Chains A and B, each alone.
Chain A
Amino acid sequence: MTELQAEQAAAVPQPEAGLQRSRYFDVLIALAAFAVLAILPMLTGSKALLDFVIRCSAFGLFATSLNLLVGYTGLVSFGHGMFFGLGAYGFGLIMQRTGVPVPVAFVATLVITTIIAAVIGAICVRLKEIYFAFVTLAFQMLIHSTILSWVSLTGGDQGLRGGIPRPAFFGIDLSNHVHLYIASCALLVIGLLLMRQIAQSPFGYTLRMIRDNANRASFVGIDVWRAKLTIFVLAALFASTGGIIMALFVSGAYPEFAYWTISGEGIFINMLGGVTTFLGPMVGTVLLLILNDTVTRLTEYYGIVLGIVILFFAIGLRKGLMDFVVEWYTQRRNGPVE
C-alpha cells in the first residue's frame, strides 16, 4: 500500500469511535491552548499583549461564528454584526440598569439574543444567496437605527456612557485586567470548542450537505429551514458573546458595534483566514488585528495598506491563509506534482 492509499484509507470516517477520539483530541488541544494563554501574564508584563488577546477573543468568537454560517452552511450573512452589537448593548444595559451579578447578565443577554435571532432568522433563512445577504443587512441597519434613535435607553450615538459596573463574583473581579484577560480566554476557548463540536457533529455534516445541495438534503428528509434557523441562532449566540467581551474591554457599548462595518470586518477576517478550515477565521482575526495595530502605529493611511492586503489575498492567493497553508501542506506530504 502506498502512502497515498494509506492516507485515503485513514481519511474514511469510522463513525462512532473516530468521532469520540477526535472529540477528546479537541478537548486536549483546547486545554493546552488555554494553559498557554493563562500563563502568558506571568511571562510578560505587557498589558498591550493582554489587550490584544482580549480583542482577539471578541473578534475571534464573532468571526468563527460567522464562518459557521458562511463556510459550513453557505449562508453569507452581511448582518452578523447586529448580534455582536446586541451582546454588547444587552450586557451593558443589564449591568448598568439592574445591578445583577455578571453571570446572570451574561445568561440573560444570551437569552435575549436567542429570541431576537430566532425572530430575525425565521424571516431571513427562507431566502437564498444575495437575498439572504441583503435582508440580514437590512435587519442590521434596523437594529443600528433603533440604537441611534432610542436615546433614552441606549444613549443614541454617544453610546452607553458611565462605564459598565462589574461586581466581583466567585472571586472573579472583571475590573481587574488579568481577571478580565483570563475570563476572555476562557470564553474564547470554550466558545471555539463548542463551535468545533457543532461543526463536527452529524448536525454539522447536515449543514455542509445543505451548503452543497439544499435540494438533495430536503429529499433525504432533512428540514432545511429548521437546520438553517438552528445554526443562525447558534452563531448569533457566539457573536453575542464576542460583543459581551468587547463591551467589558471598552467598558461601554457604542452604535458602531452594530454597524455594517463590523459585519464587513467579519467577512474580511474570513477571507483573510480562509473558510474551509475551522481555525481559519481565528487566524484571520489575529492577522487583521496585528495588521491594524502595526499599520495604525506607522501611518495614518491605514485604508490603503489594508486595500493592498485584500488585493494580495484576493488576487494573489485566491484564498484565505489557512486554506493556502493546508493545501500547501498536503501537497508537500503527497510529494511534488508530476
Chain B
Amino acid sequence: MTRTRKPGVSRRATLAMMGAGAVTFAAPWVARAQAKTIKVGMPTILSGRVAQLGTSSRNGVMLEIEKVNAAGGLAGRQIEMVIRDSKGQPQEAARVARELVNTDGCEILIDAEASSGAFAVHEVARDLGVLCLHTNSETSALTADPKQHIPNAFRTARQGVHDSIVGGSYAAAIAKAKGLKKWATCSPDYAYGRDTTGEYVTYLKRFAPDIEIISESWPKLFQPDYTEVVTKILQAKPQALYSCLWGGDLTSYIDQANIYALFSQMEVFAVNMADYTALTVVKNLPKGIHSGNRYIKTYPATPENAAWGDAYKAKYNEYPTNWSWENATAIMLLAEASKKANSADGKKIAEALRGLKIKSPFGADGTVTMRAEDQTLVGYAIGWGTTIPQEPYVPQVQAGDWKTIFELEAEWKKSKGYT
C-alpha cells in the first residue's frame, strides 16, 4: 500500500499551529498587571495612510512619560504605556479601548484617535467610567456639545472653532489692508474640511463684511491629482484662496499648483501649512503663504518651546507634529493633576484636572488651562504668519487674542444651541 502525500500542510503541523494559536490567544487573559505600576492605555492609528498621526503621538507621549517616571511617576506609581493600533477603524478603536481597560488593566486612557474613532472611544469612556484624555480630535462638538459631556473625559487638543476665529480675524485684517474682496476656497471633502471652511468663512465675513466667495473646490481626501482644482481656481481669478488641506494632500497640492505659478497670482491662506509634516516635505515652499501654527518650535518664541522641539528632534530624528504637542500636553496635565490630588486614582485626577492651569512650552503665555466648564484645553499658542522657504519657515507669527476667542466662542456655542 502506498500512501500518497496530499499537497498542503500535514495534520501534525496543523495541530501544532492550532495549539500555538490557542496559547497566544489565552495568554492575555492570564496576564495581570503588577500592582505597583499604573497602566495607561492608548488606542491610536499606527498603520495606513495616517500612520504618522499615531507615531508622532506616541513619540510626544513617550518623551514626557520618561520625565514623569524619572520624577517618581503618578503618586509614586511608575507609568507603563500600552499603545495599540486601531487601524483607523472606529469599531476597532472601541474594541481596543475596552480591551485595554478590561483585559490589560489600564486605569487611564489616552485617546489618540482621529475623528470618528475619538467618538467611539468617548462612548467606551462613558460606558466604563474610566478617565479618558482625547488628544487628537479637534472637532468642536466633542466637548462643546453638552450631550457629549461626561465628567471623566477631557480634551487636550486644539479646537476647530478656536482656529476659525483666529484665522478669520487675521485674514480679514489682511483683506482690508490689501483690498482682497474676491475669495476662493479649496478644502478636502469631508466633515473636517466642510466644517472648518464654513466656520472660517463665517468669521472672515464677520470681520470683513464686503468679501465674497467666488469659487469653491472640494477635492476628495487623499486625492492624488489636483490639476482640475488648480485650473478651476486660476480661471475664477480670485484675489485670495483659503484651504484647510493637510499633510500629504497639502504638499501634493502645493507641488502641483507651483507648476501653474498659482502662488504668485493670489494671497494663499492655508491653516495647516505651518507644521513640519508639510513644511519639510514640499519641494519648493513658496514665500508668503499665510498659515496658522500647528507645531513650530519658534512659536511661541520661548527657550522652553525651542528646547522641547530640539529634544524631540534629538530623540526621534524628526521634528514634532501638531499631534506631538497635543499628546505631550496630556501627560503633562496628568502628572500635574496627580500631584495636586496626591493620587493616581482616575476620579481624583479628573477632579484635579478641572480648571487646572499648568506651565507649558505650548502656552500662549507660558501656561495652558483645562477649562472646567467643558473640559477642553484653552490658552494654547495660536497664531498666524507667513512662510519663507527655509528654517525657521514662519519667522513672524501674529498671536491670536484669547479674549476675542472666548467672546466669539461663547456666541458660537449659543448659536449652535449648546448653551
Contacts and interface: CB of A to CB of B under 8 A. Distances in A.
A148 B99 contact: no
Q: Which of A151, A156, A290, A324 has the most CB of B within 10 A?
A: A156
B348 interface: no
Contact of A302 (B28, B47, B127, B194): B47
Contacts of B120: 159, 250, 252, 254
Given A246-B91, A297-B84, A51 B147 contact: no
B84 A257 contact: no
B190 A156 contact: yes
Contact of A48 (B28, B84, B116): B28
B181 interface: no
- Interface of chain A, main secondary structure: helix
Given A161-B148, A250-B120, A336-B1, A256 B191 contact: no
A249 interface: yes
Contacts, number: 121
Contacts of A302: 47, 85, 87
B370 interface: no
A51 B95 contact: yes
B148 A51 contact: no
Interface string A132-170: 000000000000000010010001111101110000000
B8 A316 contact: yes
A293 interface: yes
B116 A51 contact: no
Contacts of A163: 123, 126
A151 B3 contact: no
Interface residues of B, number: 46
Contacts of B398: none
Contacts of B29: 44, 46, 48-49
B139 interface: yes
Nearest to B191: A156
Nearest to B98: A51
A126 interface: no
A251 B126 contact: yes
Contacts of B129: none
Contact of B25 (A294, A324, A337): A294
A300 interface: yes
A252 B47 CA distance: 23
A252 B116 CA distance: 10
A328 interface: yes
B241 interface: no
Nearest to A294: B24
Contacts of A216: none
A158 B191 contact: yes
A124 B18 CA distance: 40
B115 interface: yes
B63 interface: no
B366 interface: no
A316 B99 contact: no
B11 interface: yes
B344 interface: no
A239 B222 CA distance: 30
A80 to B, nearest CB: 17
Contacts of B145: 161-162
B319 interface: no
B392 to A, nearest CB: 33
Given A163-B126, A251-B126, A301-B47, 4 more contacts: A161-B145, A294-B25, A300-B46, A300-B85
18 contacts: A44-B29, A47-B98, A47-B102, A48-B98, A156-B194, A158-B139, A159-B120, A163-B126, A250-B91, A251-B126, A254-B91, A261-B89, A294-B24, A297-B84, A300-B54, A336-B1, A336-B3, A337-B4
The 3 closest A-B CB pairs, nearest first, are: A47-B102, A48-B103, A300-B46
